[in-house]
């Protein structure tokens, strides 16, 4: 289910997955197949980790990467969940072929 909340976002962020919803900054983004696929990848990751553990893992990994990179944006871009989603967001068939817990592969790969 896709929801639109204009004032929900920080800076230039335009989409967010909060199980079971995809939340977008404006209605026109519903047509952005790449963005929607990116967020659908996150929904799959959240389901695999029973939602709560996804958010805990995300927060812990982001904190560790903030310390490593000393840059919050670089930390965000290098979270394993984000790396998987950015890497495959243009592949419309990725979720059909994706193996479970695939994000783990992106934990230690160089960026």
**Tokens read off for 73:** 């944006």
Sheet with 15-18: strands ordered across? 2-4, 21-24, 15-18
Query: Residue 48's Cα: distance from chain center in Å?
Result: 13
**pLDDT value at position 21?**
98
Q: How many residues does the chain have?
A: 111
pTM: 0.95
Element (H, E) at 33: helix 33-48
Query: Tens of pLDDT along 50-69?
Result: 999 999 999 999 999 999 99
Query: Residue 106's Cα: distance from chain center in Å?
Result: 13
Query: Tens of pLDDT along 29-45?
Result: 999 999 999 999 999 99
């Amino acid at each position: 289910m896709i929801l639109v909340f204009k004032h929900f976002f920080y800076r230039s962020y335009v989409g967010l997955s909060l199980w079971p919803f995809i939340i977008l900054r404006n209605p026109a983004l519903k047509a952005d197949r790449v963005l929607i696929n990116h967020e659908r990848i996150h929904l799959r990751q959240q389901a695999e980790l029973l939602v709560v553990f996804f958010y805990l893992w995300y927060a812990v990994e982001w904190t560790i990467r903030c310390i490593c990179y000393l840059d919050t944006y670089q930390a965000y871009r290098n979270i394993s969940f984000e790396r998987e989603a950015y890497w495959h967001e243009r592949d419309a068939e990725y979720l059909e072929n994706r193996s479970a817990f695939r994000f783990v592969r992106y934990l230690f790969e160089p960026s």
